[in-house]
Structure 1
C-alpha cells in the first residue's frame, strides 16, 4: 500500500483495500495480506504527552462499522485476509494487532505483536518510534491459524527480523508466514543508512526466515511518503528456498501475486531442515535462559500515562 495520511478516514482506507481485494480475487488469489497498522497512518512516529490523546487511532471492535464492508466482500469473494491494526481492548489495553479472516468470513485468530521496537520516551528525532509507549507486548505468543486451507503463521514488522519468530511458527507446522510492516527509510536511531540498505535488511530477514525454516513468507508493507516520512515498501513473496518470486514495483497501492506450491518445501523438510532428525534442542537452552549479550536483561516499559 501507499502511505495513509493523517487526515484520511477509515472509510477511505477501506475503499482502497476493497479495490486491492477485488483485484486479488480477479487474479485467483485465495489469501491476501495487508500491512501493519493498515487503517491509519503510523502514529507511533508522534509524541503525544497524554496516551489518551491517541485513542482515535485504535479499533475497539473488529469488524467495526467502517471495516465491515471489507469482511463482507471478502466472504462474498471467498478470499481470506490478514489485516494489521491498533487494538484497544474493552479493558483499555493497547496492542499492535493482526486479525486473520478465513475465506468464509469467519475469524480464524488474532496476533498481538511481541517484538516491539523503538523507545518509550520522547527523543530529539524528526520522527519518533514510540511503539513501546503506545502498545503493550503481546502475551499469547506466535499463533498458527487455518486460512484458505493452509496453516498460516502470524507475525508483524519487527518480528520478521528475529530468528525465533520463524522457528516457533515452523515448529507448529506453519506452511507460510504472513507479515505486515511499516518500515521507514531512516532506520535505527543513531544510524543514517542509504535507502538501499533498509531494503537489503528487509529482504535478508524474510529470505533467511523462509530458508532456515522451509516456509513461504508473504510480507506486505506500506510504501512511499506517509506524513513526511519515507517508507521502504518492498512487499514480496518468498519461497522456502529463500527466493523472492514476486516483489512490488512501485510506491502506491499494488497487488503482488505469488502461487503457493507445497512441493517447494518438501525436499528441505525431508533432508536439510528435517527438524525431527537434525535439531538438537538440548544445546539451545541459552536462547531462552538469557535475554541479552552476556547477562540477562530485564526491560521495564515506563512513561505510560
Structure 2
C-alpha cells in the first residue's frame, strides 16, 4: 500500500559495493532495501553507481555494465522493491541512451518510474566516459513530498541545491561515491570526507532536508569514506554521519513538509531575504528548456 502522508521515515542505505559485480551488488541492494522496508522506511537513498562501482579502466568496461533507464535489470529491481513495499527508492547507475552514457539517479516509486536525473558535473576520469547531464534540475512531486536529486560532485556546486530549493523541493537526495581523503586532506576527526559537511551546509543554506548516502569498501587503491548523513532544514545531522568502514542503514523520522516552512523567522529566512537586487532570483536557470525533453 502506498504511503501518502508527509511524515516519513527516511533512510540512507550505505552499501559495500564490489566493482563490476552487478549480480552481487543487486543482491546486496535487495537485502538492505528489504531491511529498511522492514524498519518502516518510506524514502531510501542508495549510493552512487550502486550496482557497478565507479572505478573503471576504460570506456569499454563502462559500456559493458551500462543499462537503459527504464528497461535495465537494475532499474527493474528498484521498481520491483518500490512497488512491493509502497516506498520510494533513489539510486544512481550508468544509463545508456544510444551511443551516450550518463550517470543517472533513478527515483522509483509504488507507481513506477517517477523520474530520473542525469549527473551534471562529471568527476575526474568520469569525464572520459559519461556525458554531462541534459535533463536539468527537476523536482518530482510525490504523495510523500517533493523530491530533488543530485549525484556526488553536483553537491559541490551550491547552485544545484539553491535551484532545487527554489523549485519547492522538500528533500534533496544525493547518492555519493566519495573517497576517503582523511590523509591527503588532513581532515580532523571524525571526518573522512567533506561530503557529509556539504550536505549539512546546503541543508542550512536552503532550509531543505538533505539525504546524502556514500558507499564503503575499497576498489584497488581507492577506499570509500562512508559517513552517510541525513541533515535537517537547520543543517543538523539528525542521523549520522555513519561509520566509515561498514555497511549501515541510517533512519530519521521527518515531516517532509517542514521544508516548506521557509519563513520560520521574519528577519532570518535564507530564501525570503535573498538580495535579488544584487543577484538574480533564479541563478539564470531556465526550467522550461528541460521540460520539453
Shift of residue 136, structure 1, vs aligned partner = 1.0
SS in 2 for 1:17: helix
Counterpart CA distance in 2 for 1:27 and 1:145 is 25
Counterpart CA distance in 2 for 1:105 and 1:183 is 31
Shift of residue 27, structure 1, vs aligned partner = 1.3
> Are residues 1:75 and 2:88 paired?
no
Deviates more, 1:173-182 or 1:53-62: 53-62
Structure 2, unmatched stretches of 5+, are 1-13, 285-293
Shift of residue 219, structure 1, vs aligned partner = 0.5
In structure 2, relative to structure 1, the CA distance for the partners of 1:250 and 1:163 (3 Å cut) is closer
Per the alignment, residue 176 of structure 1 pairs with: 171
Per the alignment, residue 5 of structure 2 pairs with: none
Of 86, 100, 104, which aligns to 2:94?
A: 86
Per the alignment, residue 213 of structure 1 pairs with: 206
> Are residues 1:111 and 2:110 paired?
no
Per the alignment, residue 104 of structure 2 pairs with: 97
Per the alignment, residue 290 of structure 2 pairs with: none
Computing the radius of gyration over CA atoms, which structure comes out larger, 1 or 2?
1
Per the alignment, residue 253 of structure 1 pairs with: 247
Q: Which has the higher strand share?
A: 2
Per the alignment, residue 17 of structure 2 pairs with: 4
Deviations 1:138-184 (A, max 9, x none): 12211111245210111010111211011000000000100001011
Q: TM-score, normalised by structure 2?
A: 0.82
In structure 2, relative to structure 1, the CA distance for the partners of 1:38 and 1:263 (3 Å cut) is closer
Q: TM-score, normalised by structure 1?
A: 0.79
Of 130, 143, 150, which aligns to 2:145?
A: 150
5 Å matches for 1:1-305?
A: 1-6=14-19, 8=21, 10-44=22-56, 46=57, 48=58, 51-65=59-73, 67-89=75-97, 91-102=98-109, 104-118=110-124, 130-186=125-181, 192-194=184-186, 196=188, 199=192, 201-247=194-240, 248-249=242-243, 251-262=245-256, 264-265=258-259, 268-271=262-265, 272-273=268-269, 275=271, 277-285=272-280
Counterpart CA distance in 1 for 2:83 and 2:181 is 38
Deviates more, 1:201-210 or 1:223-232: 223-232
In structure 2, relative to structure 1, the CA distance for the partners of 1:7 and 1:168 (3 Å cut) is closer
Counterpart CA distance in 2 for 1:33 and 1:62 is 18
Shift of residue 101, structure 1, vs aligned partner = 1.0
Deviates more, 1:252-261 or 1:204-213: 252-261
In structure 2, relative to structure 1, the CA distance for the partners of 1:284 and 1:13 (3 Å cut) is same
Deviations 1:175-210 (A, max 9, x none): 0100001011248xxx92135586462222111110
Contact 2:91 2:106 in 1 (8 A): yes
In structure 2, relative to structure 1, the CA distance for the partners of 1:20 and 1:269 (3 Å cut) is farther
In structure 2, relative to structure 1, the CA distance for the partners of 1:235 and 1:132 (3 Å cut) is same
Structure 1, unmatched stretches of 5+, are 119-129, 290-305
Per the alignment, residue 6 of structure 2 pairs with: none
SS in 2 for 1:82: strand
